[in-house]
Structure 1
Amino acid sequence: MEDVLADDGEPLICILEKMLLAPRQSSNSQSHAIFRTQCTINGKVCDLLIDNGWTKNVISRAVVQNMQLNTSKNPNPYKISWVKKGMEISVTESYGVTFSIGKKYVCDVLCDVVKMDVCHLIFGRPWQFDVGATYDCRAHVYAFEWKGTYSFYQDIAHAELPTGLPPLSNIQHQIDLLTGSSLPNLPHYRLNPKEQNILQGLVEELLEKQLIQISRSPCAVPTLLVLKKGGSWRMCIDSRTINKITVKYIFPIPRIEELLDQLTEEGVHMDSTKVAVILDWPTLTTFFEVHSFLSLTNFYRKFIKNFSLLMAPVTECLKSKEFRRGNEQQLSFEAVKKAISSAPVLSLLNFDKLFIVDTNASSLGVGAVLSQEGKPIAFFSEKLCPAHQKCDNKTLQYINSQRTVNRMHARWVMFLQRFSFTIKHKPGSNNKIADALSRKRILLAKLQTEITGMECLKELHFEDPDFGIIWKQCHEEIGGSEYMIRHGYVFKKNLLCIPVSSWRPQLTHEAHGGGLAAHFGKENTLQQLQTCFFWPRLRKDVFCMVDSCPICQAYKGGA
């Protein structure tokens, strides 16, 4: 069972009249209270009221007008008179509200639009009936099953803790203190009368349930109260002085990698429940959500090829003081979720067989794939700092034959001498295992700064005679690995595909005679375009353009 607390965020600002003008004294009793909480609609926090005696689900017209929601006609219009004092209200519209409470609970409810000033939303019997809600009047709590969660944990989740401690077992836990240390005996923190009564009540409740007992030990540490989101209080023990004199736990914890090496099954795959949580993760809106997403996905980085490069735009937003999410961060967020959903099953390593490590480096980061017999065992990726981005990976094949090396170089040479290996440089055009995602991102960033209006290419791919079918196959994940979609553009390997449009002659003209180009010949112009772009009949288009260039005809006598 999960406690779903009220949402906290940007509130919805509407004008609401006060129904009760006479002041009322506050009371801790729940006997006259109506269940109130807060939910989120379109990123705005709204007040939600649940009423057992109300026969409809309604939403305030102020919410509809403020958020500019599109309503529909109510098939069964009616009139009410008690919500808005002194007038009768006709209910003729309805709206399907999608709201959320917390990070997990999301629900769609059909509500009637009512001009009211009680709150933003009122859920009555229809919503309670649909979700099968059970209301505890004294605890003032609604409980219902959502996606099987309640029924799955119902046998171990109790509304109240059982009385008494569990039976004694053969193994008893004890805290070992450092030899010669003195036990702390500290006074309690100062509390006001209200906090003192709350703390006394918590202690008496624990004593009554026999979960604690009166201590006569000379050791004493203080307690303090922490206010929870729901308005209740949590008692916390300040054990810092005890922790300072406690013998640290020094049992060697086995590494996850070593445990995986000892497995004897077919392979290693990710936990399906964790994958489902990642795929259902909502859009990142705060630094806290980014850290939570990184913590969960980082656990599975060995399954994902070039994980650091995929996640780089998301981690970049953590460097700023204010959270800013752009299109690049959203594309990175979706790319990571897609990569996790299609992650391969990793093979178990065999120390009797040859290991192959394929690496890929760019100005953004490095990536590596450890494999045996063509099957991946683990992936590694790391984003490079500015100093490491200047390194040349081609020179690594001469690392053992260089005569003069610096201190860091010598340290790595000594480490690598422990292994028997052979280094072979593989050009980027032949390196198909280590994905060149970073090269595509750098290419797009470079082109978008040099050429304006490139965003319109995304709209041309879908109906293009050359790439329309390829676009559809890439979206449906059909066909070979030669084509792929990255950041909304179609790529053939590392080349940006240009659809049939005025872009083809414009790019050809720019490569031949635009900017600093000196009206290269056919082959040089073709080579300039082939470093970044691809389209069918590219060679023919270049040759025709160069042959028809008036400057080349006049001054060079033909190209």
Structure 2
Amino acid sequence: LICKHADIFPDDLLPGLLPKRDHDHKIQLEPGAQPTVRTQWRLTQPELDELRRQLDYLLEKGFDRPSTSLFAAPILFTPKKDGGLRMCIDYRALNRVTIKSRYPIPRADELIDQLRGAKFFSKIDLRGGYHHIRVNEADCYKTAFRTRYGSYEYTVMPFGLTNAPSTFQLTMNEIFRPLLDKCVIVYLDDILIYSTTREAHLRDLEAVFALLQQHRLITKVSLEFLGHVISIDGVKIDPKKIATIQDWKPPANLRERQSFLGFVNYVRRFIPNMTEVTSPLTDLLKKDTFYEWGGEQQAAFDQLKLFLTTPLALHIADPHRPFELITDASDLAVGAVLLQDFGKGLQPIAYESRKLNPAERNYPVHDKELLAIVHAFKVWRCYLTGADVTFRTDHKSLQFIRTQPTLNP
């Protein structure tokens, strides 16, 4: 198949602009907005060398051109995993005066749920993803950036523009619409093909490659998807991320705490009682809270790292099987785990928890336990509505909830 469609697997992006698509990227500014100008920072010699190399590359490909625009964004460089430098344009000033798109980006958990029953997977990354889409000719001047070698503007969509993800998702959805929810899910420039048999997978790959070829999308073959590894056994956190977690040092400032907790929140479905475990850390994010990293914070940090580095596979929910819901409540939070039996005993689908607000902390134990059930049904409504569900709680009085003639509001 790859040999048959070799033209979609080149070693590099082809020179020249790719074809105009139904949706070029447009940059609509708020009424009265003026050109945004930011001062360029001084660069190190290695950064200047890389700047020259990347400018030559972009000009050779036709992806940018010299500009006389009144807009001027600064450039900066960030390190790559391989030790190289990535050139970035700081479009924050432009983004502040750009009218924001309302086009939705898919939820990662909804996409992963579509993979139930699949046994064969292939993932495709688009090479130079955003550069497959042109900037609307009337808006190119707004992308201008300033260097010591002059000003340049993009002819293709660069990273850093506030509406670029929405434009890209819109384009991908339009291209792959015939296959979405059948054998393909798309998240920005990640394309995942899934099938139940090898024969079906080859047919599905053929259909995807044909669409890629038709729309001149250049790809690289890689199976990690959205920070997860997908297999017939379920969903796991990507081992590369686990290695990063193992080396994570205790956060020393607000930004580092936010970064760590942001990652923890992204994989919260893997962590039992996450809210209660993270409480000593999230309390440090409160305004006017004195920062003190003590034994309680270190214990929470270590426990979270242990959860995230201990291999745990979550199974993908099967709507045709009964669910079992186990809930619990404490003085601080409510939590739940959703399970199903796939023939080898109950297996976890997801974990959920949230902190109680001040009013809820005053609830009697009965009401807190009931709140845990209500919260779980709200969070997992997409699974549990109309399904066969057994819920378990360690509070005996709740067994009468279905026979009680009246309930307090």
TM, length-normalised to structure 1: 0.36
Structure with max Cα Rg: 1
Q: Which has the higher helix share?
A: 2
